[in-house]
Structure 1
């Protein structure tokens, strides 16, 4: 069996059809609020329950992993998930892991905002362009430009190094492109750019 999966229509495979697909996209877009909540009220929540912010993130990851294991054991899918996710780790679980790793390893607004927004906004952009049968070259170009604009906005608002603006567009698009059976692009779109940041940051001194 190939490690690559065939590109399919996300609406046809979504539990709930178009409604499920729309819900899936809405969840993606809603992830945009995660860094805002983390940096604006995270410490207050942590203090209120006598935990550190890092402990809360770790707890969420552990809960997500446990819940996903139970879901896979049952073979259960909910509205918005793809039918094949009954037998493999879901995009939602991979996304939770990826976001959690970003917040644990790069807990600085300069990095967390653009990394998470590249997934929450960039992935739906690429997916919808592809679903509407836009040419591959156009998808790549539009995705790279769109994600570069996200990083440029973060450079302006949260002091993300401008160095990453031109770099991360192509990297994030390339991270989303492989259709792998064993890991979802919700993870690769976060973990691969995160790895780049962790390698480069010692020269920039942001964290």
Structure 2
């Protein structure tokens, strides 16, 4: 470990959080002079302190131990590059509009990669007022269910959360030119084009 780099990073992150050395020390149950030594590069935190220290400073522990935080490229604002993540532990659904390091329950999550629509869940679409009412041919059991559906268009993401044993239906705005995503906990993420939605509409 490069104690000088790590110390400089700890000092930087601490100041960003508007914390004093005493605040850090009290939270970790150590003396303020110990934190001062870290920031001066005269030593590194004990291994037992890293998990809590990274939580206090709000950063990834691995990157902090390397003394350098890797920044993502600036978000271009292109909603077409939306990425979905699902935590395998708690089931949280997270969304980013570009490259990102996403963590949940202590794990780094990998983005969900959409599968070809030929493997998709069969859908039936009805036009109601200005919405699509979509019904999925899906069992929706406790072991096998759709976790979420999302419609992505221009600058918006319409996200619907579904639950086991719930009716396999959702309602989304009738906007042309978007993409419709469905995530099943067993079969993964599927994307439908606007054309595929139109073809599924009951005539």
Q: TM-score range by the shorter chain?
A: under 0.3
What TM-score, normalized by structure 2, do the two folds share? 0.24
Larger relative helix fraction: 1
Larger relative strand fraction: 2
What TM-score, normalized by structure 1, do the two folds share? 0.24
